[in-house]
Amino acid sequence: MRNSFVRHSAHWMVVFLLCAATACGGDSGTNGGGDNGGGGDGDNATTSVSVGDNFFNPSGNIVSGGATVTWTWTGSDSHNVTFASSTIASSNTQSSGTFSTTMPTTAGAYSYMCTIHGSGMSGTVTVQ
Ligand SMILES: [Cu+2]
């Protein structure tokens, strides 16, 4: 009983050490978004974005193909969500409410910005 517990523990320790050595599953910065280092506003596996006054939070989302992404206005100024690719629907300029759009099924990084505030208020939805 006790022996097999110890053996299992040792097994998992080996797996852990292998992972640590090879950085398996870690975000080692090779996925191209630039949001490396795991801060508060990196690439997030969520389909929700809040639209603040002059920022999108998170500014990087990772979603699956065909996912519906929803932006919720939380600030008080007027903003919009305008994709660089015209094949993705963009929002109206609004100061409250929500906007949802369906992402393409093709993998890629789709950038968008608020055209009122320009590149300083921008984000990327990455379809995996
Ligand atoms: Cu804006």
Rg (CA), the chain: 20
Residues with Cβ–ion distance below 5 A, ligand 1: 79, 114, 116-117, 121
Q: Is the pLDDT of residue 106 over 50?
A: yes
Short-list 68, 78, 74, CA closest to 51:
74
Q: Is the pLDDT of residue 98 over 50?
A: yes
What is the pairing mode between strands 43-44 and 60-63?
parallel
**How close is the Cα of 55 to the center of ligand 1, in Å?**
7
Q: Are 32 and 18 in contact (CB under 8 A)?
A: no
Report the distance separating Cα 106 and Cα 114, nearest Å.
23
**How close is the Cα of 15 to the center of ligand 1, in Å?**
47
54: left (phi over 0), alpha (psi -120 to 50) or beta: left
Q: Tens digits of per-residue pLDDT, 51-94?
A: 999 999 999 999 999 999 999 999 999 999 999 999 999 999 99
**How close is the Cα of 25 to the center of ligand 1, in Å?**
35
% of the chain residues with pLDDT over 70: 67
Q: Are 89 and 25 in contact (CB under 8 A)?
A: no
**How close is the Cα of 21 to the center of ligand 1, in Å?**
43
Please tell me the pTM assigned to this model: 0.68
Q: Is the pLDDT of residue 13 over 70?
A: no
Short-list 86, 98, 95, CA closest to 49:
98
Q: Is the pLDDT of residue 23 over 90?
A: no
Average pLDDT over residues 38-51: 78
- Please identify, in words, the CATH class of the domain defined by 43-127: mainly beta
Considering 14-23, 24-33, 90-99, the range whose residues carry the highest mean pLDDT is: 90-99
